[in-house]
Amino acid sequence: MTLGCASMITEVQELAGRSGDTVLITSDRCMRWLNDAQDEIVRRCPGLPDTETDDRTSLTCVSDDVTYSLASFDPTVCHCLEVWYMDGDQSKKLKYLPPDEFETKYPDPTSGDYTPDKPVYWTVQGKDLLKIVPRPSSDEAGDTLRVLYTGYADDFSAADATRASDINHVHQMLVDYGLWQAWGAIGDEGKSTYHNAKFEAGLIKFQEYYGLMPAWIPNIYDFDSIE
């Protein structure tokens, strides 16, 4: 059974002994904890199928521009998985470089020392800045950059009484996260620690189910060193 937002809030309050609380374990606070739990799950599960998004319209190549913002993507980008240069039958998947290797190899990617051409490599700096090299020429300007990414789940709001999480099979984890925070707010460290451990154990099982164990995360990208 999958629980909606209001049912999960009620369960957190009742199990914490604070049913209908309007002072400490309030509905708004519980909702924030549910949203925090969703974010934590997505952050620790790159490649999560339930929130994987294939964006083919938001970015287009600009002549001589190597930086592209992901800030306007909906849903919000958590993990960028693949970037493609789209040009009909000439479309190709770009190769990922870790940010430090990208900066070492291309400290000044807009320099005239580099010939503009179809992009080959990509990286993401900070939270939402995509960088590509080589910089596109006027021939590539207007061609689309396809971005496959793991997006954050939509936050719950006051209007979402019956809406379940965008992520399947996580309502128990969301409740345990809420109880972890609730008991911490109440001041019962033992019960807070217990539900923290339950959340972590549930997350490990979830990662195993989807093949998203933490050890796999550094290998999420298919890339070769370009030393």
The structure's pTM equals 0.88
- Position 222 scores a pLDDT of 54
Domain ranges of the chain: 5-46+167-218, 51-151
Residue stretches of the chain with pLDDT short of 70:
1, 212-227
- Position 212 scores a pLDDT of 62
**DSSP per-residue letters across the chain:** -PPPHHHHHHHHHHHTT-TT-SSSS-HHHHHHHHHHHHHHHHHT-TT-GGGEEEEEEEEE--TT--EEE-TT-SSPEEEEEEEEEEBTBT-EEPEE--HHHHHHH-SSTTSTTS---S--EEEEETTTEEEEESPP-TTTTT-EEEEEEEEPPPPP-TT-SSPPPSSTT-HHHHHHHHHHHHHHHHT-HHHHHHHHHHHHHHHHHHHHHHT--GGGGGGSS------
Cβ atoms within 10 Å, residue 170: 24
Mean confidence (pLDDT) of the chain: 92
- Position 2 scores a pLDDT of 82
Give CA–CA dist 100/80, Å, rounded.
16
